């Protein structure tokens, strides 16, 4: 068979990418979905729209190159993590919109649980500090606020899933016996899975008042789970499932302890493989599952999650109208020499790693009459690079490993100005591989390994190649001055919401 199909259900869009054995893209279908902001801090998606888009992008990817079902060896799936859907398994209907990972509505519960149990209690079991980010408290919010859900959950009719689970259930039969499963990487983002046992933690579920029967079965990330029943890929084995940031780690072939990648999409996520060793963080990172291939031990990762990166570029485009397309930002930013003293701290969902300040809110600091649109555009791009520096320092401190170069991917890495500035800030080379759709590729690798399309990791390592490398050029004094300014601006964003 010639190909592997991969579904990448991201925060802004859903893609289906068909890959060949060399890891090259054969065809792509992609569609954006609506971002719903009912109140400040709330972010939702319509899960029904995402399901329809999924079918449409698979069909588009196949039609583009007239790909026959019999040419597809397997399908993998990867997804925006943490985003939470609860639906009825008899009707297939969601009780409420999907609550997106960036949503901060459970902030009061975070504060109450921090008071009663302490954040460390949750971090010790799940690797995650108590925060609005993860799925558990989003499930609780739906159970507590949407009429009828709790009763149905107790009867075993209302079930929970992240977007992987929701799509797998639909793709494998839906109301006619769809699989209700997730993988270890997605489960590790719910704040309900015990990182040592890889199973749901009954005590955590009880604290959050979540009936255990609504949670999916936890599977490895690479395994034949079952066959797809939907017409668009009927009969194809569904054989890979990974959270998107973990999928990018697999797609970047970071299989050795100490290897790290940074993905620049809506948010920005740096993951370092720590092997089979679970490394607790003391510097504001998450300990998470990197992947598990069937029959092999779980591999862990340290993760620095940044909530807003490319989303800040979108905000400049959609909310301020300063650019028409995301790509326009580079030209605008290049119209000036530097940031003119301005800093943008995009604490739209509070600040994630390494700060974990849910009461922070966005600020633009350092304004004078000198500052123009170009400076703001530059400060917007720089914000992603500074946030990455914050995370990289924490990563080095936690792991004791000095990162000598950084593999990058995601929608923002086409921006050369950002990549050069990133290398300048980190003082290490930044490497963009030939294939930057590493998220979809990682899920394809998981599926392909499960069905023997690829024989081993060695096959995958050969597919990775360098497209471009940026080396640090900035003088130390300039780097230090700029970064000091960022740190000052970050402090200004703290404690905005009480
Ligand atoms: N040339 C560019 N410069 C900066 N940001 C960009 C550029 N092109 C796209 N982006 C940003 O990249 C993000 C999309 O990346 P992608 O990896 O597709 O995200 P996701 O997987 O989160 O949906 C958007 O937030 C967009 O604003
Ligand atoms: O959809 P992305 O690429 O922004 O990734 C979102 C992350 O998985 C959230 O944890």
- Mean pLDDT for all residues in the chain: 95
* Cβ(428) – ligand 1 distance below 6 Å: no
Q: What is the ipTM of this complex?
A: 0.97
- % residues pLDDT > 70 (the chain): 100
From the CA of 414, give the closest atom in ligand 1: 1
Note the pLDDT tens digit of each residue in 276-293: 989 999 999 999 999 999
Note the pLDDT tens digit of each residue in 361-418: 999 999 999 999 999 999 999 999 999 999 999 999 998 888 888 999 999 999 999 9
Note the pLDDT tens digit of each residue in 252-268: 999 988 889 999 998 99
Predicted TM-score (pTM) of the model is 0.93
| Rounded-to-integer distance, Cα 352 and Cα 307, Å | 6
b/e 444-454 (16+ beta carbons within 10 angstroms → b): bbbbbbbbebb
Note the pLDDT tens digit of each residue in 219-277: 999 999 999 999 999 999 999 999 999 999 999 999 988 889 999 998 999 999 999 98
In terms of C-beta density within 10 A (0-12 exposed, 13-18 middle, 19 or more buried), how is residue 52 classed? middle
Q: Which residue has the tokens 């054969």?
A: 26
pLDDT beyond 80 at 1: no
* Cβ(303) – ligand 2 distance below 6 Å: no
Residues 17-43 have a mean pLDDT of 95
* Cβ(412) – ligand 1 distance below 6 Å: yes
The predicted pLDDT at position 403 comes to 87
**Residue 436 — very low, low, confident or very high, per pLDDT cuts 50/70/90?**
confident
* Cβ(243) – ligand 1 distance below 6 Å: no
The predicted pLDDT at position 50 comes to 98
8 A C-beta contact, residue 442 and residue 250: yes
On whether 245 is known to bind a ligand per the annotation, the reply is yes
Q: Which of 246, 252, 266, 381 to mutate to test the pocket of ligand 1 (most atoms within 8 A of CB)?
A: 266
Instruction: Give the number of the ligand closest to the Cα of residue 317.
Output: 1
Our CA dihedral for 266, 272, 278, 279, rounded to 10 degrees, sits at -100
* Cβ(82) – ligand 2 distance below 6 Å: yes
| Rounded-to-integer distance, Cα 279 and Cα 241, Å | 23
- Residue whose CA is at the smallest distance from ligand 2 atom 6: 80
On whether 30 is known to bind a ligand per the annotation, the reply is no
Q: Which of 412, 415, 435, 439 to mutate to test the pocket of ligand 1 (most atoms within 8 A of CB)?
A: 412
**Residue 199 — very low, low, confident or very high, per pLDDT cuts 50/70/90?**
very high
What domains appear along the chain, each with residue ranges and CATH number? Answer: 3-245 (3.30.420.40)
* 313 C-alpha to ligand 1 centroid (Å): 8
* 212 C-alpha to ligand 1 centroid (Å): 36
**Residue 66 — very low, low, confident or very high, per pLDDT cuts 50/70/90?**
confident
């Amino acid at each position: 068979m010639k190909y592997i199909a991969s579904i990448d259900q991201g925060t802004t869009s859903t893609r289906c990418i068909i890959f060949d054995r060399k890891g090259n893209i054969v065809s792509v279908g992609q569609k954006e979905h609506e971002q719903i902001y009912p109140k400040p801090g709330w972010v939702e998606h319509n899960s029904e729209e995402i399901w329809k888009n999924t079918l449409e992008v698979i069909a588009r990817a196949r039609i583009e190159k007239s790909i026959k079902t019999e040419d597809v060896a397997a399908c993998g799936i990867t997804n925006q993590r943490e985003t939470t859907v609860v639906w009825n398994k008899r009707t297939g209907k969601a009780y409420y919109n999907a609550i997106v990972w960036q949503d901060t509505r459970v902030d009061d519960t975070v504060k109450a649980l921090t008071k009663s149990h302490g954040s460390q209690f949750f971090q010790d079991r799940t690797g995650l500090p108590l925060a609005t980010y993860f799925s558990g408290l989003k499930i609780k919010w739906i159970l507590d606020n949407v009429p009828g859900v709790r009763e149905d959950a107790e009867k075993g009719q209302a079930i929970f899933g992240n977007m992987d689970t929701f799509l797998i259930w639909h793709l494998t039969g839906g109301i006619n016996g769809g699989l209700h499963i997730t993988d270890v990487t997605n489960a590790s983002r719910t704040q309900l899975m015990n990182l040592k046992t890889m199973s749901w933690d009954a005590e955590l579920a009880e604290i959050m008042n979540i009936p255990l029967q609504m949670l999916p079965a936890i599977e490895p990330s690479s395994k034949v789970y079952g066959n797809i029943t939907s017409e668009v890929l009927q009969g194809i084995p569904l054989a890979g499932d990974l959270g998107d940031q973990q999928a990018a780690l697999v797609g970047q072939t970071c299989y050795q302890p100490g290897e790290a990648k940074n993905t620049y999409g809506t948010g920005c996520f740096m993951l370092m493989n720590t092997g089979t060793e679970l490394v607790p963080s003391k510097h504001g990172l998450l300990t998470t599952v990197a992947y598990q291939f069937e029959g092999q031990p779980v591999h862990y990762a340290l993760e620095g999650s940044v909530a807003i990166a490319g989303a800040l570029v979108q905000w400049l485009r959609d909310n301020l109208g300063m650019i028409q397309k995301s790509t326009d930002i580079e030209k605008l930013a290049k119209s000036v020499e530097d940031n003119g003293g301005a800093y943008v701290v995009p604490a739209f969902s509070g600040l994630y790693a390494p700060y974990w300040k849910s009461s922070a809110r966005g600020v633009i600091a350092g304004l004078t009459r000198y500052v123009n649109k170009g400076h703001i555009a530059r400060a917007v791009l720089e914000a992603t690079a500074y946030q990455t520096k914050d995370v990289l320092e924490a990563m080095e401190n936690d792991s004791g490993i000095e990162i000598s170069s950084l593999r990058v991917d995601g929608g923002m890495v086409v921006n050369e100005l950002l990549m050069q500035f990133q290398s300048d800030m980190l003082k290490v080379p930044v490497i963009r591989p030939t294939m930057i759709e590493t998220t979809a590729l990682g899920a394809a690798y998981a599926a392909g390994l499960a069905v023997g399309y690829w024989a081993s990791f060695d096959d995958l390592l050969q597919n990775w190649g360098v497209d471009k490398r940026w080396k640090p050029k900035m003088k130390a004094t300039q780097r230090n001055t700029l970064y000091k300014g960022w740190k000052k601006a970050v402090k200004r964003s703290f404690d905005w919401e009480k």
